[in-house]
Structure 1
Amino acid sequence: MNRQILKNILSNGLSFITNMALMLALTPYLVDCLGVMAYGFIPLAAIFTSYIGIITESLTISINRNLTKAFQSNNRNELSEIYNTSLITVILVIVLLLLTMIYPINHLQDIITIPSSMVYEVKILFILLITSFLFSLIGAVYSVAMYAKNRVDLMQFNNVLRNIVRCICIFCFFYYDDISLISVGYATLVGSLCSVLFAYFYKIKLISYMKFDIRYFRLDKVQDILKMGGWLLINQLGFVLFMKVDLLIVNKYLGPEQSGLYSIAIQFNDVLRIFASIISGVLGPAILILYSQNKIDDMIKLTSGFVKFLSLSISIPIVIICVWSKEILNFWMGSSYISLSSLVWILTLPLVINIGVQPLFAIQVAMNKIKIPAILNIVFGFFGIVSSVLLITKTDLGFYSVAISSVIMLTIKNAIFTPLYSSYILNVDKRQFIYVHINTLIYTFISIVILLQIKNEYVITDLYDLILIVLLSAIVLLLFSLVFYTKNERDKFIKFIKEKA
């Protein structure tokens, strides 16, 4: 398993670099071609798919868990039953969701603020993005073969394939003068269809006997999937309240242009979360397999190491982005966007806490201990929305009020509850993951001081200078992070790399 984990980490790193490069190239290109106001509707459309995703992602997580357990037990009959029941259930859910989206799309201009000249174009964009998302759900069921076999490397390659196809299609459509939000929607749909075909191909290759047969549909399996999926649904709803409502609030109270600016600043947040999910995503299948094999001690050791590694590792790009935010915005988007630097700090810096806990969610899913976290997600998410609306209507903070409110609520939950609850269900020292937070905060504070000193001594005159100083900063912070690992942890890591090299 260790060899495959290393392979997954390397492929995930390559996936992150590729997807970040595509984002860095695509965002200014779309803003230049469409304008900042029109561009703002693309992440807004993604928010609507997130609302649908709170239902569908809950199902896919539950399906992954049940299928992986069946695969580990070598029970082909049960595997076929879960697979076919899952596929049919997802198809029925897709049909239901398509029907329920008819009214919101028809009245979209009453839900978000849209200039009258753009109503038709925005509606078509939403339809295409939602359709492409629903197609990807079928691909998610096919992808369980890769998940059950711990082939996260293939899953990440599929993710890269989808994004590359999407970007190529956008550039082709725009090159032939079809510059519109509708073209972006069609490009996204084509990318999703390619991803589904890739997942289907590897489903056949990895688990050839897992085939569609309606006779294997079992109603009791639907109940098993939905039983866990119900609390996952609530948990995902809380996540959407935390992460996906802020842009909608900005659009509703400040207008589409301000939401377009906000969506640019939050790109760094999104990229870092993708990076973290790529790293922690390696842990999901491994944790579930260890739990299915009742190797609890191995599961605890693996999780503990990952939490510390991810917390310190993710702090490096976070600190670099914050300290050099003005310079990055200047060369990436243009000098007129430098004013977003403060917003980047507010949205990005708290991620040193909020991202570091991501590996702990794999434990909660594997052990089916998601009821209490789901309830807390809803409670904190609700208070985050209320405080955002109050601040944006009662103060002159503008979109800063939304950023501050959502960040505070999420950070309180992840700084206190998530580490304590995870320690409780794992039956380990309650302070174990709190110590990781303290370690990370000390490292982050000192790292900011170090980079600010470098910034005072180093004058950036062009993009080459910026790239050079970012690389230098990364090397310095990486070497400095080694101080925060124990000698035993460093020795284990070096031994792990040598054994798998």
Structure 2
Amino acid sequence: MPSKKRLIINMFANALAFTVQFGINFFLTPYIVSTLGSEAYGFIPLVNNIIGYASIITVALDSISARFITIEITRGNYQKANSYFNSVLLADTILALLLMMPSLLFILKINDIINVPVDLLVDVQLTFFFAFLTFFVNLIFAVIGCCYYVKNRVDLNAKRSIESNIIRACILIALFTLNKPHIFFVTITTAVVAMYLFACNIHYSRKLTPELRVDLHKFSFLVIKEMLSTGVWNSINALSSTLLTGLDLLLANIFLGASQSGEYALVKTVPNFICQLVIVVLSAFVPEFNILYAKGDKKELLKSVDFSLRIMGYLVTIPIGFLIVFGKEFFSAWVPGQNVDLLQQLSIMTLLPLIAICGTDSITKIYTVTNKLRTPAIFMIIMGILNATGDYLLFTFTSLGIWVIPCVSFIVNIIIQLLFTPIFGAYCLHLKWNTFYLSIARSCSCAIVVISVSLLFKFIIQPQGWFSLFLTGFLCSILSLIFSFFIAFDKDVRVRIVAILKSKLQKQ
């Protein structure tokens, strides 16, 4: 299948999978808040963040395995690919066994580590138990799922994600309908889904990559050493990401208590959804990046990266710009009874850096593709330490309260996304330092278009409730997409897209 057609299919499938997942979480959040309170809800993203801390030491192998296996299979080196595959499988299994005891101790002593209301203690402990169970299942069998990326069939992975989210939704509805609501219902369903995806991954691994077979005799310490020499920088990046974004709810819980931590968890919910959307859109491009690099086609790789930057800015800035303008109306409809003015103000500070991230996140994948991870890892760990230190000092010596987190994060993210990422990305591909700034500017311009259109509509419409809010959002999106079309894409790309649309319409 032509790469462009495969790219479109991958993007569509990923977007559909994300929509299903988003829909479930979107409707689940206000239900949990209304039945259990924002204080209880705050533990759900906090659980995910703490699981992310455990993932730091697993990233070194899992984040890099797909790249190594893809390159070797593309080059026809099946024996080397199997060595990578089996070495990671055994190493992950050993690592999971080593982490089980510390995880159990953390669960048993959790009330000595973070602020947990007495009436929620058992519920929170069970929530962490099922979350860690999911983590271990995903860790042990992570490498099996690389088959989708090796063969550039991300669409199949997206289909399985859709199915798993439907299963998750059915189980959640049954649990919350037939039983007294509990937080751990969220993570027990995730554990069930992890088992389902494991079975699917085994099936597709045999179908898509029959060259890869489980044979632990092919384990090699030299292979692990080779991968760790590269992957360790991804672990450092993961630590940096934790210091940049993963400690905020934990610090809020420690310094401000479970109540304010829960409020900030609500604020972060939408930006987290948007970050997931960024990952979803970008994941459709990454397999092509690896394949083009393996073929040594630098010209097409640059085109693919540039196109991904423009697509990201064109599509992902739509929800960002709309929520910056209509955030108060959104929170009023989504979580009525909460302090929507505060939520809106905090939301703006968390959404603004995402505009820059949409314009640069594709560039960060170049680091892995070109295997140049050390410099960005060192830079990111420095920025992460500055971010965490700034949070700690401001929490300790000022009365800014919850505003500490978004303010410090905003400054740090602007430095990373607009000063370091585009310059180092150009260096990795041996390009001029300012190569990517035009694409970034176009991405930011798309956000300005969305905000401008939304402000215009706000003078005309004052949405009250979901129907008018969705209608306003739909109209703003359509107009923004039309105007941004001329900003995001060059003339030749616009002509090709219009020609494709015309041909599709004529066939119908």
TM (norm. structure 2) is 0.94
Partner of residue 308, structure 1 = 310
The reply on whether 1:40 has 2:45 as its aligned counterpart is no
Is the 2:453–2:476 contact (alpha carbons within 8 Å) kept by the matching residues of 1?
A: no
Deviations 1:284-312 (A, max 9, x none): 11111111111111111110121122123
Query: 2:150 and 2:402 mapped to 1: Cα distance?
Result: 42
Q: Answer yes or no: is 1:228 the counterpart of 2:230.
A: yes
Q: Tell me by how many angstroms 1:141 deviates.
A: 1.2
Whether 1:465 and 2:468 are equivalent positions in the alignment is yes
Q: What CA distance in whole angstroms lies between the structure 1 residues aligned with 2:502 and 2:383? A: 44
- Which residue of 493, 498, 501 corresponds with 1:489? 493
Secondary structure of 2:58's aligned partner:
helix
Of residues 9, 23, 26, the one that matches 1:24 is 26
Q: SS of 1:324's equivalent?
A: helix
Provide the rounded CA distance (Å) in 2 between the counterparts of 1:306 and 1:91. 35
- Other structure's SS at 2:359 match: coil
For 1:27, the aligned partner's letter is: T
1:177 corresponds, among 162, 179, 186, to 179
Query: When the two structures are superposed, what TM-score results if normalisation uses the length of structure 1?
Result: 0.95
Distance in 1 between residues matched to 2:493 and 2:189, nearest whole Å: 45
User: Aligned partners of 1:107 and 1:499: how far apart in 2?
Assistant: 63
Of residues 217-226 and 175-184 in structure 1, the stretch that sits farther from structure 2 once superposed is: 175-184
Identity in percent: 27
1:111 maps onto 2:113 in alignment:
yes
Paired AA for residue 104 in structure 1: F
Aligned to 2:192: 190
Q: Find the aligned partners of 2:339 and 2:169 in 1 and give their Cα distance.
A: 23
1:200: Cα distance to partner? 1.2
Counterparts of residues 127-138 of structure 1 (less than 5 Å): 127-138=129-140
For these two proteins, the number of residue pairs brought into alignment is 501
Please report how far the alpha carbon of residue 178 of structure 1 lies from its aligned counterpart in structure 2 after TM superposition.
Answer: 4.1
Partners of 1:38 and 1:63 lie apart in 2 by 37
Does 395-404 or 317-326 show the bigger shift? 395-404
- In 2, the alpha carbon distance for the partners of 1:165 and 1:361 equals 33
Change (3 A) 1:337 1:168: farther
Amino acid at match of 1:476: L
Write the mapping of 1:203-218 to structure 2, written as runs, cut at 5 A: 203-218=205-220
Amino acid at match of 1:420: I
Q: SS state of the match for residue 404, structure 1?
A: helix
Q: What is the one-letter code of the residue matched to 1:393?
A: T
* Residue 404 in structure 1 maps to residue 407 in structure 2: yes
1:352-371 correspondence to structure 2 within 5 Å:
352-371=355-374
Write out per-residue CA displacement over residues 200-251 of structure 1, whole angstroms, 9 at most, x where no aligned residue: 1111121234221222212211112211111111111111111111111111
Letter in 2 for 1:431: N
* Residue pair 1:47, 1:244 contacting (<8 A) in 2 also: yes
Find the counterpart in structure 1 of residue 385 from structure 2. Answer: 382
Greater Cα offset, 269-278 or 201-210: 201-210
AA in 1 matched with 2:443: T
Computed over aligned residues only, the root mean square deviation of the Cα atoms, in angstroms, reads 1.9
In 1, Cα distance between equivalents of 2:60 and 2:362 = 17
Q: Give 1:480 deviation, angstroms.
A: 1.0
Equivalent residue of 1:303, what SS?
Answer: helix
- Any conservation in 2 of the 1:48–1:130 contact (CA below 8 Å)? no
State yes or no: 1:83 paired with 2:85: yes
Residue 432 of structure 1 aligns to a residue whose secondary structure is: coil
| CA distance in 2: counterparts of 1:314 and 1:104, whole angstroms | 37
- Show the counterpart of 2:288: 286
Query: How many Å separate the matches in 2 of 1:48 and 1:494?
Result: 46
| Residues 1:421 and 2:424 are matched in the alignment | yes
SS of the residue 2:46 aligns to: helix
In the alignment, structure 1 segments of 5+ residues that lack a partner are none
CA–CA separation in structure 1 for the residues paired with 2:189 and 2:369: 36
Q: Please give the per-residue CA displacement for 1:21-70, whole angstroms capped at 9, x wherever unaligned.
A: 11211111222232211111111111111011222233212111111112
Partner of 2:96: 94
Once residues 502 and 92 of structure 2 are traced to their aligned partners in structure 1, the CA distance between those partners, rounded to angstroms, is 43
| Unaligned ranges ≥5, structure 2 | none
- Higher deviation after alignment, 207-216 or 297-306: 207-216
Q: Residues of 2 paired with 1:91 and 1:499: CA distance?
A: 51
AA aligned to 1:414 is: Q
Retained in 2: the 8 A contact 1:36–1:257?
yes
Q: Is the 8 A contact 2:309 2:440 kept in 1?
A: no
Match of 2:301 among 272, 295, 299: 299
